[in-house]
Every structure is written in C-alpha cells, then in structure tokens.
Amino acid sequence: MAEPRTVEDRLRSEYAELLPLMHRTRLAIETEVQHMLLPITLHLDPYERIVVRSRIKECESAVDAVRRRQEFGLFDTDNPEQYSLRSLPDLIGVRILTFPERRLEDARRSLLPRITHWIDDPVPGEGSGAAPIAYKYSGLWSTDDVVRSEIQAVSLLIGLFWEAEHSAIYKPTPNLRGAAKSIEMKRKTAAVITALMDFEVEFGRMIEASADTSL
C-alpha cells in the first residue's frame, strides 16, 4: 500500500488506526466518571442535575487542531512524519455538566483523586481573582493509553450554551465563517456567559435563604 501523500492524509490514516482505541478509552472514562459521581448523583434534590457526556474529536477537527498548533498555521510538507494526532490533549473529551453552582465544586472534588497528575488548565473567569468558568484537566487515563483525554467540569447552563455556540459559530455554513472573529459576537457571547453565571449565583442564594428559613 502506498504511503499517504500529504500531511493531512497521513493524519487521517493515523486517525483510522487510533479510532478503536479511542472508543475503548472514551467508554472507560465515561463509565468510571459516572461511578465516581454516584455518591453525589444518588442524593440530588429534584431541581439539581449532574450530566456526563463524552465525545471523540472528529477526524477533520483533529487534523485542523494539529495544523493550528504549527507556526503560521501551516504544515511543513517536507517533513510530514513529525506530525501526530497523539500530540493533541483532547482527542477524547468528557464533560460533566452541573446545576446549580454548588454541584460544580462537588463534581470536581470527586474527580481529583483519579487525575492527580493530569495537567490543570481551567477556563478563567472575568476579572482578577474570579473563579474559573470551567475546570479542565488533560492526561492519560490508563498507563497503556496512546492518546490523551480531557475532562471538563462546567455549569450545565454554560455547557449547553457552548454546545449551541460551537455548532453555530465554530462549525458554521460558509457564509458564517467570520462570526467567530466578530468583536460584536464576542461581546454578546461574554454577556450571555455573565448572565448565566449571575442566574446560578442568585439561584444559589435562594437555596441558602430557603434552608435558613426552614431551620
């Protein structure tokens, strides 16, 4: 069989080889994460939610992610062997969505003993000293894994907004490809995140006030 001719073709071929292993790892992480969260999920109040979702990065998205990491966003076509999908930190992704705010920290603490040596890369909040919008960790789930995975814990409201935003802005139809770089769109996105966070904070205050009055 002839060798793939371009860097992109080589990466696509690598993706096909890694795919069965990625499916196995994705299932292992999702199952174990759900198990670690059981002490919380079994005692949720009716209005509370903890949802675990997982995904494997799509092939073209993975190839593009490797490309964006290169200088000027270009591959060195004379040395295609230097590129590998294994360099990505998030070929496999697991997202934990929580509501209300207090459950985010509960979920994070449940995970930490299992991912002690993983890279911590939180999504920062607005302003100095602000709490992260989301917690992100990347690493090898098992010692025999060949690709790294990412686990993210984030508010259910923000996580669902990110899903809609990703589909609308980062995977748009051709006439919308400039939306992600629009200053006005970035402002609107930041405003939505702020509003969702404010809603969760206020809801948390209501929970605490209700608990105080019932004592």
Per-residue model confidence as pLDDT tens digits over 22-45: 999 999 999 999 999 999 999 999
pLDDT at 93: 96
Q: Average pLDDT, stretch 152-160?
A: 95
Q: Residue 179 above 70 pLDDT?
A: no
pLDDT at 206: 87
Q: Average pLDDT, stretch 179-206?
A: 86
174 domain residue, yes or no: no
pLDDT at 170: 63
Domain holding 59, by residue range, is: 7-158
* E-assigned strand segments in 26-105: 49-56, 92-99
Contacts of 36 (CB under 8 A, 6+ apart): 110, 111, 114
192 domain residue, yes or no: no
pLDDT at 138: 97
70 domain residue, yes or no: yes
pLDDT at 25: 96
pLDDT at 155: 94
211 domain residue, yes or no: no
Q: At CA 149, angle to CA 146 and CA 150, rounded to 5? A: 165
pTM of the model: 0.86
207 domain residue, yes or no: no
Higher pLDDT, 204 or 67: 67
Q: Average pLDDT, stretch 173-192?
A: 76
Q: Residue 172 above 60 pLDDT?
A: no
CATH number at residue 92: 3.30.460.10
Q: Residue 213 above 80 pLDDT?
A: no
173 domain residue, yes or no: no
CA distance 89 to 110: 22
CA distance 92 to 58: 10
How many domains does one find in the chain? 1
Residue in the structure block whose two tokens are 């705010």: 101
181 domain residue, yes or no: no
199 domain residue, yes or no: no
**Mean pLDDT computed over every residue of the chain:** 89
Tokens describing residue 135:
């917690």
pLDDT at 168: 74
Strand bridging mode 92-99 / 149-155: parallel
pLDDT at 78: 86
pLDDT band at 204 (very low <50, low <70, confident <90, very high): confident
Q: Residue 164 above 70 pLDDT?
A: yes
